[in-house]
Structure 1
Amino acid sequence: MSSFVSVDSSDADAPTQTWKLTVFIVTAISTLAFFHINEKTRSLILFAWACFIKPFTPSNRKTHSNHQSNLESFYKTQAKIYDSTRKVLLKGREDALTLAFSHLPNKKENVWIDIGGGTGLNIENMDKYVAPLKSSFKAVYLIDLSPSLCEVAKKRVAENGWDNVHVYCADACDFEIPHKEADLITFSYSLSMIPSYYSAIDHAAKLLKREGGHICAVDFGIQSDINAVGRTNTLGGLVNRHVPWIYRTFWRIWFECDKVILDPSRREYLEYRFGTVKSLNCYNKTLGKIPYYIWLGVNKSHDTQLMHRFNSLAIESPYLAPMDVKNNNVPNSKCLEAALDNAKKGLPFPSLFYQREAWRVYYDELSDRYEPFKNQYIYAFTWEDPREDAKILKLSSKDTVLCITSAGDNLLSYAALPDPPRRIHGVDLNPCQGHLAELKLASLRALPLETTWKLFGEGKIENFKELLIEKLSPHLSSNAFQYWMNQGHVAFDINGKGLYDTGSTRWALRLAKYVFKVTGLTSKVEELCNAKTMNEQREIWESSIRPVLFNFAVGKLFVGNPVFLWKALGVPANQAAMMDTSILQYFIDTLDPIIGRSMVGSDNYFYYLTLKSHYRKNNCPDYISKHGFKVLSRKVNSPLDNIRLHTDTLNDVLVRLTKKTISVAVIMDHMDWFDPSGEDADDEIDALFGALCVDGRVMLRSAAQVPWYIKNFEKRGFECQAAATRTSGTSIDRVNMYASTWICTKKVEGDHMNFDLDAK
């Protein structure tokens, strides 16, 4: 010891001796401290050493030719504290297990292989949080190459008394098990540590059950847009898929020091080898935004859902036009075109083909036509009154209906009728409107009324994420699932403003509440919503609310402002120009008669929602009413099976539908948006003519009493009649937002050709 203390400054070895002394002292103090601190702190220190210091030491730079030796050099010193130190780092494991189990066709007697299962924590979490092992699985196999981790796993199995769980210390690329196939195969942060990952994935593919088997992976990932080129439709959505360059580069270099490889090829090979059912892209924000993903797949050629999707295309006419090799002028189904193109390239079919439900029709989400919507829907609720639709149209099971999707409320009302249409096509160019409609469909399929009511009646719920993964995800497309995993915590936040404060129309609702607040009318609005008689309701409106709402300042600054009309109310300039009066007078004519027509608190859920941001159980859309929910949620012959959601322009859908098979097209106020000097209206009328059968009807609403495009319908062979016309002081339905409702009936046969109005 004295030789270390007595150091001559002129000695050439003095710096070395001083360094040794420093290391000795630090090591001695650290060792003493290490054994005098609690277990949790010791685990964290050991974890920090193994993950953040040891990888940069000279001894750790050596790579063994034997992968098992590489694993042991990393895990041997931390096997016993592995679970307690990975909770913060390895995010999404429980979510992945829940997602995977929710998609299994059978909930009992499954075979599960957990590849790279390590200490068995995944298996314990499945038993504790997702599904009991003894009743849900007849056999569970944990495969791992690290003897140290396997020893911990065996101890865990013995402590829990799982006689159906078997731990194999074996290579992921060639292990053998007694069972020939597995219902579930999982990779939980293990694929990024397997050098020959392609071999491991191929081996898993051989073991996966052909019909109904699912494979799930959760792992670090560094995907980018470049990796999606040429195979977008197989990926199941692009929400958060692109990881910025700085994160891709930093985390890849960092994890390589631990021999964890974050290249995108591992995930890409999964997406090539299997059909994608669900795909989720996330960040571990606790530790500096480490990117990770959760992915769920099935056999890409033999899955049950795949057959169901093809059967829907082949036999459910009128769905989409079948392939027609004799007539190249007839457009083919976009989904069939995509499927055939993928098959030629050896790629899986589009992700939408592997979903349990056939509701969502295939669309290419990279199309420029979706760019304006910026990942947000406009309408969180639908304004048109379906009660009037039912009276005018008298829909039955003989009808095939095409309508604008919007928030999905109206098409669900049609489906809830006593004799619902045989098929209902919802069309909307905004993908997010389709995501919202899908969420409603999934809730009706999978949830009880009370839970569905919390979602769409109150617009708030406490456990939305858990509900989405466990109950709703099997009935959603991957695209919709991604959207709601990304947006749902805001839309349904129990402490937030709720679902009906989302979408572009939230600005109108917020403005109304602000005006009522600053003018001291909030209490009067409450009284209006709780009024017991029509006279009481009218008195509150006339004496308190109306004078404020329709004063000059409000009318000039907001209602009459074109920017506000579009951004808040969704009224474009072309439609505003069709109003037969000033914009302020138009809204006076809209709202005044409503007060004398129906009780806001009990028979007008449209305006009750705008004032209260939620519904009442006796004043709500049909699908969340007790009767409507019972009809729609039935398990056998559910009207929900007859709904299809198209994410496209109305015109593009019409020309691809089987000709002369649509009996009713409900296009809302859609045509008011067209420029009278353009050709869009003519093109759409021509497409409607081709899709409608003889005596097929178009129902439309307009801001004008007589819309300019009615004459276009008549010249094409439609007989047009106003079903309702609003005059000052009268109302045509509970919304009364439009000046007229029209029925245009196809009365002549004719070929499907564009027509020249001037020539006729």
Structure 2
Amino acid sequence: MYATLAVAAGLLGLAMVLLNTYTKSILIFAWNCFLKPISKNSDARDQQAALESFYQGQASIYDITRSKLLQGRDTMLQLSASHISVPQPVWVDIGGGTGWNIERMDEYKKISDFKAVYLIDLSPSLCKIARERFAAKKWSNVHVVCADATSFSLPENIKAADLITMSYSLSMIPMFYAVIDRLERILSNDGIVAVVDFYAQSTATLCGRTNLGGELLRHVNWFSRTFWRLWFEFDRVYLDSSRRDYLEYQFGTIKSVNSRNNLLGRIPYYIWLGCLKRRDSELARKINALATESPYLLPVNSSPEMHVIDNEEDLTVRSKGYEAAVINLQRNFPLPSFFYQSEIWRIFYDERHPKYNQFAGQYIYAFTWEDPREDDKILKFKPTDTVLAITSAGDNILAYASMPNPPHRIHCVDLNPYQNHLLELKLAAFLTLDYSDVWKLFGEGRHPDFDNLLVSKLAPKLSSHALQYWMRNKSTFTSKKGLYDTGSTRWAIRIAKWVFWLAGCTEDVKRLCKATSITEQKMIWTDRIRPAMINPWVASIILRNPLFLWKALGVPQHQAEMISSSSGDFLTYITDTLDPLIERSLIAEDNYFYLLCIQGFYNRNNCPSYLKKDSYTRLAKPGALDGIRIHTDEIVDVVARIRKHTVTIAIVMDHMDWFDQDGVEATKEIRSLSHALKVGGRVLFRSASKHPWYTSVYEAEGFKCKAAQVREKNKSIDRTNMYASTWVATKVRDLDENLSVDKLVL
């Protein structure tokens, strides 16, 4: 008993000591930051004296008290480590203080892998802590330099720095422009600058700039801007926008992430990675390539001596990225961040355009409804094909790319930027992750370590825009429900589950996913599930609601009108969709579309083809995804900027069902598709109508239309059976050989 009391007393005493240590640290921090005059006995114009007065009394407890305040440092270091491509790099940490960054970096990239590491700081007290820290680690390649960042120079035997970091130091440097200029001079050609810091900025200051790498969460409202500027200025920390603006002016943006410290009043902070404006000789070739159908389109082994504008005759078709590059170069701005990405997929788009606002920051589809197996049966893809297809969730794009003999080029088109962010993530996963991780992400829709995978492995392969989006939406893969409970269409799945629950047939739905025979499957459907799902009550409250049709099912008004005119009633259309599927094949074995809707994840033996192990092996090979281009625009605008007669197959899904039947939009799109397609090229489209009205427009524009599949009573045309018909329009002639690009663009 006495021994137990002694142990308890000892533990209590230890807890008090720890509590007192932490409490003491907080009090010291509060005194030095909020109560003590910044420079009591020195000239406030002397930066070193001011800093030493501020840090001398709190150097020993600096790291303890900054863990919650200085968020984003870990992420910045991980991003830096994952983006370094130079063997044995030289690292300069500006304003490195106590050396916390360098010690932490050892967890992401071994300090022994660096040729040399230099910590630069103006505070002798902080430098003393750093020296003690590194001496304990016995790192002979780490050097602490107590000097002003504006005057620091690399040793003669070090030509340049491959990594330069600034962790909450840029906002404390008075002569920040001189420091940024110096960084630009000492950075190697393939080097990276990484910064994490506080900021306070309005989007009103960003007019006319396309080099930012994304504006998500960048705007800080007036109250926050004013409050945090005043608050931090007491400690000589300046949140004015000019620091970040000048940084982004002097360097090209590789990655840019805006965030908030939710633990401490939502303090705005950013993480930024940059490189030299004209990083390498490849930039000239990349800009030149933008004059064709997309960036980097020229062969990898093409001549590196090509100039930005080599031959005006070759620039008759110019992409938006090319035009943005020219404007930025004229202004001496860095190129848009898309030019500094490591991969070739994502095509430049200006996220500030109002047409992207309609999507409210989210994708509609987390998975693709169209059946790619039927696409191949109808079109018979060949390695010589150039395909243009709507992105959707990217499942079909990857199904085409993972074929044993895939098309050599696939143009993915979607006006919704977030659908393209999802496809980008999938492409990055195949290049960087093991099959088990890919399966967890897109087979199960969940991965508990997504945060770490995103920053340490996926980020280098993502555009800055896509990285920002997924940094903001990490819970997509870490939440209990996962990926397939996201997107607007999740509401259809949720409502169906609520209907099943109210009808008391939730367990019957689960049995449907495990049925081992068509007879068993049909019995469960007919006796239990069908009466709950297909009835006048569901039709009147849900299926006839325009808001539900658009937000949950992705069915716009014009398509809903086509369904009503062809089937008479939406309930009849749903009945004709679902009834035949029960007798087509087992949901448990050969219908991953409905299996996913019911259980929220795929099975290994019943999933999209791109998630199979053999497909992973093909897609993960070097260069396997180089033929993919992702366009964030309208079809008519994309094809107008593709070289004439280069596309052999266009897959536009049910896209034209959305158009007004006055034919104006349909004519423009079909005419632009004709411009891009070779004679003999084909357009595959699906429709909610058995006889879509726009087939006559195709015929008028030089196409021959033929129905590949038409739904009949009690028969399904594919594994989803969502559409009443599938058509192929073959281009048989050019109506206007002299049609100009200007006439095609809306």
**TM category, shorter:** over 0.9
What does 1:419-458 align with in structure 2 at a 5 Å threshold?
419-458=405-444
- Please state whether the residue corresponding to 2:59 is helix, strand or coil: coil
Determine if contact 2:294/2:629 at 8 Å carries over to the other structure: no
Query: Given the alignment of the two structures, is residue 618 of structure 1 paired with residue 600 of structure 2, yes or no?
Result: no
What does 1:343-382 align with in structure 2 at a 5 Å threshold?
343-382=329-368
- Please state whether the residue corresponding to 1:209 is helix, strand or coil: strand
* Cα-to-partner distance string for 1:65-91 (whole Å, 9 max, x where unaligned): 321111111111111111111111111
Q: Which residues of structure 1 form unaligned runs of 5+? A: 1-33, 755-760
In the alignment, the residues of structure 1 paired with residue 662 and residue 291 of structure 2 have an alpha-carbon distance, to the nearest angstrom, of 40
* Counterpart for residue 112 of structure 1: 91
Change (3 A) 1:318 1:154: closer
Determine if contact 1:686/1:753 at 8 Å carries over to the other structure: no
In the alignment, the residues of structure 2 paired with residue 71 and residue 540 of structure 1 have an alpha-carbon distance, to the nearest angstrom, of 75
* Counterpart for residue 222 of structure 1: 200
Determine if contact 1:501/1:613 at 8 Å carries over to the other structure: yes
* Counterpart for residue 27 of structure 1: none
In the alignment, the residues of structure 2 paired with residue 315 and residue 713 of structure 1 have an alpha-carbon distance, to the nearest angstrom, of 27
Instruction: Give the counterpart of 2:103 among 115, 124, 131.
Output: 124
* Counterpart for residue 86 of structure 1: 66
In the alignment, the residues of structure 2 paired with residue 401 and residue 430 of structure 1 have an alpha-carbon distance, to the nearest angstrom, of 19
**Counterpart of 1:608 in structure 2: which amino acid?**
L
Instruction: Give the superposition deviation at 1:38.
Output: 3.2
* Counterpart for residue 19 of structure 1: none
| Range 174-183 or range 653-662, more displaced | 174-183
Query: Given the alignment of the two structures, is residue 68 of structure 1 paired with residue 48 of structure 2, yes or no?
Result: yes
- Please state whether the residue corresponding to 1:492 is helix, strand or coil: helix
Instruction: Give the counterpart of 1:41 among 10, 13, 23.
Output: 23
- Please state whether the residue corresponding to 1:471 is helix, strand or coil: helix
In the alignment, the residues of structure 1 paired with residue 617 and residue 235 of structure 2 have an alpha-carbon distance, to the nearest angstrom, of 55
Change (3 A) 1:286 1:693: same
Instruction: Give the superposition deviation at 1:419.
Output: 0.9
- Please state whether the residue corresponding to 1:724 is helix, strand or coil: strand
Query: Given the alignment of the two structures, is residue 96 of structure 1 paired with residue 96 of structure 2, yes or no?
Result: no
Change (3 A) 1:318 1:267: closer
- Please state whether the residue corresponding to 1:587 is helix, strand or coil: helix
* Counterpart for residue 28 of structure 1: none
* Cα-to-partner distance string for 1:357-395 (whole Å, 9 max, x where unaligned): 111100010001111111011001000000000111011
* Counterpart for residue 744 of structure 1: 729
* Cα-to-partner distance string for 1:14-59 (whole Å, 9 max, x where unaligned): xxxxxxxxxxxxxxxxxxxx9998332222111010011114x8x6
Change (3 A) 1:260 1:730: same
* Counterpart for residue 191 of structure 1: 170
Query: Given the alignment of the two structures, is residue 257 of structure 1 paired with residue 234 of structure 2, yes or no?
Result: yes
Change (3 A) 1:184 1:38: same
Instruction: Give the counterpart of 1:659 among 628, 644, 662.
Output: 644
Query: Given the alignment of the two structures, is residue 542 of structure 1 paired with residue 529 of structure 2, yes or no?
Result: no
* Counterpart for residue 337 of structure 1: 323
Determine if contact 1:317/1:658 at 8 Å carries over to the other structure: no
Determine if contact 1:320/1:657 at 8 Å carries over to the other structure: no
Determine if contact 1:320/1:333 at 8 Å carries over to the other structure: no
In the alignment, the residues of structure 1 paired with residue 365 and residue 502 of structure 2 have an alpha-carbon distance, to the nearest angstrom, of 26
Determine if contact 2:293/2:319 at 8 Å carries over to the other structure: no
Instruction: Give the counterpart of 2:559 among 575, 579, 593.
Output: 575
In the alignment, the residues of structure 2 paired with residue 53 and residue 65 of structure 1 have an alpha-carbon distance, to the nearest angstrom, of 20
Determine if contact 1:524/1:540 at 8 Å carries over to the other structure: yes
* Counterpart for residue 515 of structure 1: 499
Instruction: Give the superposition deviation at 1:563.
Output: 2.1
Change (3 A) 1:105 1:187: same
Aligned residue pairs total 710
* Counterpart for residue 29 of structure 1: none
**Counterpart of 2:110 in structure 1: which amino acid?**
P
Larger-gyration structure (1/2): 1
**Counterpart of 2:645 in structure 1: which amino acid?**
K
Instruction: Give the superposition deviation at 1:678.
Output: 4.2
Determine if contact 2:203/2:218 at 8 Å carries over to the other structure: yes
> What RMSD over aligned residues (CA atoms) do the two structures have, in Å?
2.2
Instruction: Give the superposition deviation at 1:493.
Output: 2.3
Determine if contact 1:318/1:657 at 8 Å carries over to the other structure: no
What does 1:705-744 align with in structure 2 at a 5 Å threshold?
705-744=690-729
In the alignment, the residues of structure 1 paired with residue 659 and residue 19 of structure 2 have an alpha-carbon distance, to the nearest angstrom, of 74
* Cα-to-partner distance string for 1:115-171 (whole Å, 9 max, x where unaligned): 1111111111111x211111x211100111111111111111111100110111111
In the alignment, the residues of structure 2 paired with residue 186 and residue 458 of structure 1 have an alpha-carbon distance, to the nearest angstrom, of 37
Instruction: Give the superposition deviation at 1:204.
Output: 0.9
In the alignment, the residues of structure 2 paired with residue 467 and residue 35 of structure 1 have an alpha-carbon distance, to the nearest angstrom, of 38
In the alignment, the residues of structure 2 paired with residue 172 and residue 119 of structure 1 have an alpha-carbon distance, to the nearest angstrom, of 16
Instruction: Give the superposition deviation at 1:60.
Output: 4.3
In the alignment, the residues of structure 1 paired with residue 255 and residue 503 of structure 2 have an alpha-carbon distance, to the nearest angstrom, of 49
In the alignment, the residues of structure 1 paired with residue 94 and residue 412 of structure 2 have an alpha-carbon distance, to the nearest angstrom, of 42
In the alignment, the residues of structure 2 paired with residue 514 and residue 749 of structure 1 have an alpha-carbon distance, to the nearest angstrom, of 52
- Please state whether the residue corresponding to 2:154 is helix, strand or coil: coil
Change (3 A) 1:50 1:142: same
In the alignment, the residues of structure 2 paired with residue 749 and residue 713 of structure 1 have an alpha-carbon distance, to the nearest angstrom, of 12
* Counterpart for residue 557 of structure 1: 541
Determine if contact 1:492/1:498 at 8 Å carries over to the other structure: yes
* Counterpart for residue 16 of structure 1: none
Change (3 A) 1:101 1:306: farther
Determine if contact 2:291/2:319 at 8 Å carries over to the other structure: no
In the alignment, the residues of structure 2 paired with residue 223 and residue 43 of structure 1 have an alpha-carbon distance, to the nearest angstrom, of 32
- Please state whether the residue corresponding to 1:275 is helix, strand or coil: strand
Instruction: Give the superposition deviation at 1:334.
Output: 0.4
Instruction: Give the superposition deviation at 1:544.
Output: 1.1
Instruction: Give the counterpart of 1:668 among 631, 646, 653.
Output: 653
Query: Given the alignment of the two structures, is residue 153 of structure 1 paired with residue 120 of structure 2, yes or no?
Result: no
- Please state whether the residue corresponding to 1:141 is helix, strand or coil: strand
* Cα-to-partner distance string for 1:535-575 (whole Å, 9 max, x where unaligned): 11111111111122111101221123222111110111111
Determine if contact 1:274/1:299 at 8 Å carries over to the other structure: yes
Change (3 A) 1:430 1:36: closer
Instruction: Give the counterpart of 1:593 among 580, 588, 594.
Output: 580
In the alignment, the residues of structure 1 paired with residue 295 and residue 114 of structure 2 have an alpha-carbon distance, to the nearest angstrom, of 42
Change (3 A) 1:237 1:37: closer
- Please state whether the residue corresponding to 1:370 is helix, strand or coil: helix
* Cα-to-partner distance string for 1:437-461 (whole Å, 9 max, x where unaligned): 1111111111111111111111111
Change (3 A) 1:38 1:726: same
In the alignment, the residues of structure 1 paired with residue 432 and residue 202 of structure 2 have an alpha-carbon distance, to the nearest angstrom, of 34
* Counterpart for residue 630 of structure 1: 617
* Cα-to-partner distance string for 1:640-677 (whole Å, 9 max, x where unaligned): 11111100001111111111110000000000000111
Identity of aligned residues (%): 53
Determine if contact 1:687/1:752 at 8 Å carries over to the other structure: no
- Please state whether the residue corresponding to 1:723 is helix, strand or coil: strand
Query: Given the alignment of the two structures, is residue 392 of structure 1 paired with residue 378 of structure 2, yes or no?
Result: yes
Determine if contact 2:413/2:634 at 8 Å carries over to the other structure: yes
Instruction: Give the counterpart of 2:34 among 35, 48, 52.
Output: 52
Q: Which residues of structure 2 form unaligned runs of 5+? A: 1-15, 299-307, 741-746
- Please state whether the residue corresponding to 2:473 is helix, strand or coil: helix
* Counterpart for residue 672 of structure 2: 687
Instruction: Give the superposition deviation at 1:62.
Output: 6.7
In the alignment, the residues of structure 1 paired with residue 165 and residue 255 of structure 2 have an alpha-carbon distance, to the nearest angstrom, of 14
Give the structure-1-normalised TM-score: 0.90
**Counterpart of 2:378 in structure 1: which amino acid?**
I
Give the structure-2-normalised TM-score: 0.92
In the alignment, the residues of structure 2 paired with residue 216 and residue 307 of structure 1 have an alpha-carbon distance, to the nearest angstrom, of 25
Determine if contact 1:72/1:146 at 8 Å carries over to the other structure: yes
